Structure 1
Amino acid sequence: MSRFSPPGVYPPQEDTALLAEALGDEPLPPGARVLDVGTGSGALALDAARLGSRVTAVDVSWRATLAARVNALLAGQPVRVRRGNLFDPVRGQSFDLILANPPYVPAPPRAGAPRGAARAWDAGPDGRLLLDRICLEAPALLRPGGVLLLVHSALSGPDRTLGRLRAAGLKATVVRRRRIAFGRVLRARREWLCERGLLSAADETEELVVIRAELPR
């Protein structure tokens, strides 16, 4: 059954699949509490729910929360969907696993924060508009032994992500790497990325990474 993904909602892509592989490697007990932040159409939230987890899915877009609710209903999975900015709807809660596939492709400077559909694609000039917030805020929502699984492009600084998570006291490492052909967004920004030195004219692929960060018990 195809997932409902209306215009402006990030559909499942290669990064979603890579993060789903990492999710499948996690030894989650039945009933584990899982947070899927920036859920989009809810694909990862549904994968976690099928593993027997109690899943909360969050997105800032009302279209995305609608899509996630519809897809959970179609799949017969009890996913709790909340609309809000990153971790705002779950302050004071704790989770065994946090899944995050935020916007990460560097974007040309613009006036003000991204709005509408651009929120799914624009990640600031260095691609870290939300990545740095996740590194800062996610550790406080993890239970002892809890894990953050985060996917993003090598263009947006995996070493910075690792450094920030380790500085927060987490054990962080890259657990997945995959090179993929340029998608629509990256193709549209290719000239600008080359001007910034993030790509060369010969590049045809980008590298995705999944970072696993665990809060010690």
Structure 2
Amino acid sequence: MLIVIEGLDGSGKSTQVAKVREYLTGRDGQAPEYLHFPRFDAPVVGDMIARFLRGEFGRMEDVHPMIVALLFAEDRRDASALIRRWLQEGRTVLLDRYVYSNIAFQCAKLSSPEESAALEEWILRTEYEVYGIPRPDLNIFLDVPLSFVSGRLAAQREGSDREYLHGGQDIHEADLDFQRRVREVYLRLCRKDPAFLRVDCCGTDGQMPSAEEVFERIRKVL
């Protein structure tokens, strides 16, 4: 089974991925195989993706999103043989971001609905049909309050998954309005794909619930 967790930058996704890994280990009696995309150690494109996100190729709007989408797609194509082998061995595979991240973050950069729809179709065709990467059995979108995302992105975030920034800021994380547009694309994708499940991560007070409460909502759809 191939499970994907999606979410905005600063959404607490890494915390929930860790909880899902622990839950699947207990449920299945063995740890799931796991990958986080993008892989900054991926051959050729890993370093290029890191450099783009650090802003070394210019501002976000200076690089056409189709070019950026191709870099992320190449990363998944390189990993696809490994993912396919795990699935053939009967393993559960958990992925932190996958194709829908590519669509959400790149299509959010386009103001024209027609151009956005065309890029979405191009990404889906390139990744699933041309590259033939495995299709997920379950996609989960963690829909968190933008106020929570704003607070997380404004704070200094640390961890091994931030090393690619070399102490700088990810250009995708510098603009809260961009994250709002990314969320809109994610929600549209959830409405189109019945296998893409939105998990509401908003409390009754409009704020972010505890990590444990969010995980309970995720567990119900696993």
Please report the TM-score for the alignment, with normalisation by the length of structure 2. Answer: 0.33
Q: Higher relative CO (CA 8 A, sep ≥ 6), structure 1 or 2?
A: 2
Report which of the two has the higher share of helix. Answer: 2
TM superposition score normalised by structure 1: 0.34
